[in-house]
Amino acid sequence: MSDPVNLIAEWLKGLLASWGLSSGLVLFIMSLLGVVVVATFVLVMDVVLVWVERKVVARFQDRLGPNRLGPFGLIQPLADVIKLLIKEDITPEGADRVVYNIAPVLALATVLLLWAVIPFSPTLLGADLNVGVLFIVAAGAIGTLGIIMAGWASNNKYALLGAFRMVAQVVSYEVPMVIVLLIPVILARSMSINDIVNSQSIWNIVIAPVTALIFLITAIAELGRAPFDLNEAESEIVAGFHIEYTGMKFGLFYAGELLHALTMGALFSSFFLGGWRGPWAEQVPILGVFYLFLKAFLIYFVIMWVKYSLPRVRIDHMLDFNWKFLTPLALAVLMVTALMDKILGQPGTIVYTVGMLATNLAIIWITMSILRTTIRSEREKVGEVRPVATPGLTPGPGQAGAGRV
Amino acid sequence: MILQIIFLIVALITLASAVMVVVSSNLVHSALWLVAALFGVALIFGLLQAGFLAVVQVVVYIGAIAILIIFAIMLTRRIATDSGPRFNENWSWAAVIAIAIFVVLGWALLSWPGFNIQAQPLDPRTDPLTTLGMALVSPKGFVLPFELASVLLFAALIGAIFIAWERK
Amino acid sequence: MIPLTWYLIFAAALFSIGLYGVLARRNAIAILMGIELMLNAINVNLVAFWRYRTPEAIAGQVFAVIVFATAAAEVAVALALFISIYRRRDTIAADQIDLMKW
């Protein structure tokens, strides 16, 4: 009983074959069933995410969060879904109807696509593509198309502006993400995510911590969450490219954003934290699913932690940070990792691990010292901080000892 | 049999999207139909068992080139919608030429039996992905065209930034 | 199974549609989209020949990869030119940019 999913699949296959269907048709029906099961599971997890998000943000902000509907507010997401469903569905005048309606569907669909290549357990996998890593980049690329479609079809200049900036941000942060994703590929000698997870007898975050950090930062920027959420923050551009969306269409965007965050958590776990690996995961495959989601929720918690602790970054600072810091750093890490991989020999040995870890710490130290000298020279260029005028420190003529500090 | 049906469906959708690209009156719709046509071509690459090229097609063409085209369309519109006729005055001659070229190519392709071959199964020992990677960087392979392509991209990058730079 | 001619006829049809787009449209960006269709038809042709004639010689796929890179470079420069032209002449209809005609 250690692998219930595969047992049920085998029984179903036998049942369909005994009904006299050809083997090709049986395979087709089983694949279709697999797609439906994965999509449903992930979308139900999405509803749980709404609850997790609201409870955790409340605790970060020193309050309780929803606690009226059901014990600990567990029925709250259901109430949210019902509210979104019964809201009036407004299409703005002059909007392009077909494009307006397809955009939220595309935004959610491209996130669901990513779950096809993530290995859930040693025996559960959607599709073992030998170009799995590039498939993830491709699905992200189609997502940006959904953003532009939403921004343009709304017939609203702020939506269009928000969409432009969002796409500029996403496309810019894709560059260091792709460069940095090459490093698990080098370490595992294969582009298939299944192979990457299988090769992590020692977790990649120990061998390549700088890579993991850069991937986390670019993933947060890809998601469009704080501190990179200039393009959809209410005080900046009033929800950006999805201003004009109401009801369930906005629900699709919102659900897609939360699900994308969990998907990035699952991808980070697969690339750097060993995916489904854990004690007894090979013998009892169903434990692999549990470990994967535990790690995914941990990274999701880290992403939320960053969101609710840091202030927003301005758009030009954001792009400067990407092009002038992250991309050169990513290239440097890639070159150094490739070089050290050739020098140090086979992955999995103690020499390899300690050598890579030492190299990464050296890179961090060098980067920090370069940053320190740059900041120091810039501070000297700007000059001393001028004291701000404070009223009442020096009483003017006619003010009898006012405001003595 | 199943593969033939899949090929026919994908090919028909791609050709229909391509026709909508050149016929559509709204330029942004044209660009979105182009995205559909490019996606269809990616599926054809998948049918030809060139998986790497299929994914690179989506990343490069849809993820970069199509988005660039859509940006350029939105940046070069007048206040009113796209004004003027969408075809120039030679459109009938263009149709004649296009149909003539298709007929000539089709006749040439169907008349030589050497084209009517089936696909041999790929060698299961070699992985096209690893072979492609090795070929792109090995001196006995194609490292020179690879480096020249990167110089070309670099030149295009500098050129495009310089041309589009707004000089005050 | 699928004979090679089907892929080649599909590529020829895509090429002709792209050719019609280049020759018949007024807007410069629509002409560029026709060029993209033609380049994709060429890529389909190259990869089909690689798969059916010489699957062991990887030169077919390398050729297609170089065509990808060239197409990307060309689109970037072309769009930069179009934006620059639009700033000067306020139009990108191909029959109105005729200052250098005799």
pLDDT at B80: 47
Q: Which of B51, B59, B67 sits opposite A148 (nearest CB)?
A: B67
What subunits touch chain C, counting only 3 or more CB pairs under 8 A? B
Q: Which residues contact A197 (CB under 8 A, 6 or more apart)?
A: A119, A270, A274, A275, A276, A277
Whether B88 has a pLDDT exceeding 90, the answer reads no
Select the highest-mean-pLDDT range: A92-106, B45-59, B115-129.
B45-59
- Average pLDDT of the residues in A155-184: 90
Distance CA C3, CA C1 (A): 6
SS3 A189: coil
* Burial zone of A134 (CB within 10 Å; 0-12 exposed, 13-18 middle, 19+ buried): buried
Nearest to C87 by CA among B168, B28, A148: B168
Looking at beta carbons, which residues of chain B come within 8 Å of A130?
Answer: 51, 127, 129
Residue from the list A130, A141, A160 with its beta carbon closest to the beta carbon of B63: A141
CA–CA distance from B118 to each of B115, B139, C2 (Å)?
9, 33, 7
In chain A, residues with a C-beta closer than 8 Å to the C-beta of B55 are: 131, 134-135, 137-138
- B27-47 and B2-23 helices cross at what angle (nearest 10)? 160
Q: Is the pLDDT of residue A326 over 80?
A: yes
- DSSP letter assigned to residue A313: P
Q: Is C35 on the interface with B (CB under 8 A)?
A: no
How far is it, in rounded angstroms, from Cα B52 to Cα B129?
7
Looking at residue C90, its pLDDT comes to 82
User: How do the domains of chain A map onto residue ranges?
Assistant: 87-333
Residue C32: is its pLDDT beyond 90?
A: yes
- What residues of B are in contact with residue A137 (Cβ under 8 Å)? 55, 59, 63
- Is the pLDDT confidence value at C9 over 90? yes
CB atoms within 10 A of CB A18: 8
pLDDT for residue A15: 84
C51 → closest Cβ in B19, B49, B91: B49
ipTM for this prediction: 0.92
Q: Which residue in C has a C-alpha nearest to residue B12's C-alpha?
A: C10
| Facing residue for A134 by CB, picked from B28, B59, B64 | B59
The answer to whether residue C70 is domain-embedded is yes
Could you say which of B49, B69, B119 has the minimum Cβ distance to residue C32?
Answer: B69
* Residue found under tokens 């690329």: A141
- The more confidently predicted of residues A243 and B50 is B50
**C74: contact with B, CB 8 A cutoff:** yes
**pLDDT score of A118 more than 70:** yes
Q: How far apart are CA B2 and CA A145, in angstroms?
A: 31
Note whether residue C95 is domain-resident.
no
CB contact under 8 A, B64 and A140: no
Q: How far A142 CA sits from the closest chain B CA (Å)?
A: 6
Put simply, the answer to whether B34 touches C13 (Cβ < 8 Å) is: no
> What average pLDDT score do residues A241-251 get?
85
The C-alpha atoms of residue B55 and residue A196 are separated, in whole angstroms, by: 19
The nearest alpha carbon in chain A to B57 belongs to: A138
Which of C61, A313, A239 lies closest to B55 in space, CA to CA? C61
How far away is chain A from the Cα of B77, in angstroms, using its nearest Cα?
13
Check residue B47 and give its pLDDT: 92
Q: Which pLDDT score is estimated for B165? A: 84
Residues of chain B in contact with residue C34, where contact means CB-CB under 8 angstroms, are 21-22
Q: What percent of chain B has pLDDT over 70?
A: 95
By Cβ distance, the residue of A131, A141, A152 closest to B52 is: A131
| DSSP per-residue string spanning A328-386 | HHHHHHHHHHHHHHHHH-STTSHHHHHHHHHHHHHHHHHHHHHHHHHHHHHHHHH-SPP
Q: Enumerate the β-bridge partners of residue B87.
A: C25
- Set of chain B residues whose Cβ sits within 8 Å of the Cβ of C48: 48
Among A330, A341, A363, A344, residue whose Cα is nearest residue A221: A330
User: Is A356 in contact with A337 (CB distance < 8 Å)?
Assistant: yes
Of A16-25, A31-40, A58-67, B11-20, where does mean pLDDT reach its minimum?
Answer: A16-25
The mean pLDDT of A158-178, rounded to a whole number, is 90
The DSSP code sequence of A4-34 is HHHHHHHHHHHHHHHTT--HHHHHHHHHHHH
Q: What average pLDDT score do residues A67-72 get?
A: 85
Which residues are CB-contacts of A306 (< 8 A; sequence separation ≥ 6)? A220, A226, A227
Rounded Cα distance, A86 and A80, in Å: 10
Alpha carbons A154 and A239: distance in angstroms, whole number: 13
Interface test with chain B among C62, C81, C89, C98, by most B beta carbons within 10 Å:
C62
Structure tokens at C81: 């030119």
Rounded CA gap, A294 and A327, in Å? Answer: 31
Does A164 score more than 70 pLDDT?
yes
* Alpha carbon distance B56, C72 (integer Å): 12
What pLDDT does residue A161 have? 85
In chain C, which residue's Cα lies nearest the Cα of B24? C30
Mean pLDDT of A153-181: 89
What pLDDT is recorded for position A392? 67
Rounded average pLDDT over A100-112 = 91
Contact yes or no for A176/A187 (Cβ under 8 A) = no
Find the distance separating the first CA and the last CA of chain B, reported in whole Å.
Answer: 63
As a dihedral over the C-alpha atoms of residue B36, residue B42, residue B47, residue B52, rounded to 10 degrees, the angle is: -160
pLDDT score, position B75: 84
Cβ count within 10 A of residue B22: 27
A97 contact partners, CB below 8 Å, separation of at least 6: A91
Q: Determine which of B47, B115, B132 to mutate to test the interface with C (most C C-beta atoms within 10 Å).
A: B115
Residue C76 touches partner B, C-beta closer than 8 Å: yes
Domain-located, residue C9: yes
From chain A, the residues in CB contact with B56 under 8 A are 134
Residue-averaged pLDDT of chain A: 87
A129 CA to chain B: closest CA distance, Å? 9
Instruction: Kindly tell me if the per-residue pLDDT of A397 is higher than 70.
Output: no
Residue C32 belongs to domain spanning: 4-89
* C5, C69, C79 ranked by CB distance to B68: nearest: C79
**Rounded to an integer, what distance in angstroms lies between the CA atom of residue C45 and that of residue C41?**
6
Asked if pLDDT for residue B42 goes beyond 80, the answer is yes
Q: For chain C, how many structural domains are there in total?
A: 1
CA pair distance A54, A66, nearest whole angstrom: 7
Enumerate residues 6+ apart whose C-beta is below 8 A from B71: A148, A164, A167, C79
Å from B77 to nearest chain C CA? 9
- B141 touches C59 (CB < 8 A): no
- Any chains having at least 3 CB pairs less than 8 A from chain A are B
Q: Is the peptide bond before A227 cis (omega within 30 degrees of 0)?
A: yes
- Judged by CB atoms closer than 8 Å, whether chains meet at A191 and B62 is answered as no
- How far apart CA B59 and CA B52 sit, in angstroms, is 11
Whole-prediction pTM value?
0.90
Q: What is the pLDDT of residue A399?
A: 54
pLDDT for the residue numbered A272 = 94
Q: For residue A275, what pLDDT is reported?
A: 87
Q: How far is B140 from chain C (nearest CA, A)?
A: 12
Tokens of A134: 């590039």
C-beta atoms of C65 and B152 within 8 A: no
A261 falls in which pLDDT band (50, 70, 90)?
very high
Interface test with A, best of B43, B55, B126 (most A CBs within 10 A): B55
- What's A117's DSSP letter? S
Give the number of C-alpha atoms closer than 13 A to the C-alpha of residue A175, restricted to the C-beta side. Answer: 17
What φ, ψ does residue A22 adopt, rounded to 5°? -70, 160
C43 to chain B: which residues are within 8 Å by CB? 41, 45, 53, 57
In Å, how far is A97's CA from the nearest CA of chain B?
12
- Per-residue pLDDT tens for B122-151? 777 778 888 888 899 889 889 999 999 999
What CATH number did the domain enclosing C82 receive?
Answer: 1.10.287.3510
- Window 42-71 of C: residues touching B by CB (8 A cutoff) are 43-44, 47-48, 50-53, 55-56, 58-59, 61-62, 64-66, 68-71
Q: How far is CA A125 from CA A38, A276, B37, in A?
A: 10, 11, 30
Q: Evaluate if residue A388 carries a pLDDT over 90.
A: no
Structure tokens of A95? 């909007």
Give me the sign of the Cα torsion angle A309, A313, A318, A320. Answer: negative
- Cα–Cα distance, B89 to B95 (Å, whole number): 12
- What would the pLDDT profile of C54-99 be if each residue is shown by its tens digit? 888 888 899 999 999 999 999 999 999 999 988 888 888 888 888 8
**Mean pLDDT, range A165-179, rounded to an integer:** 92
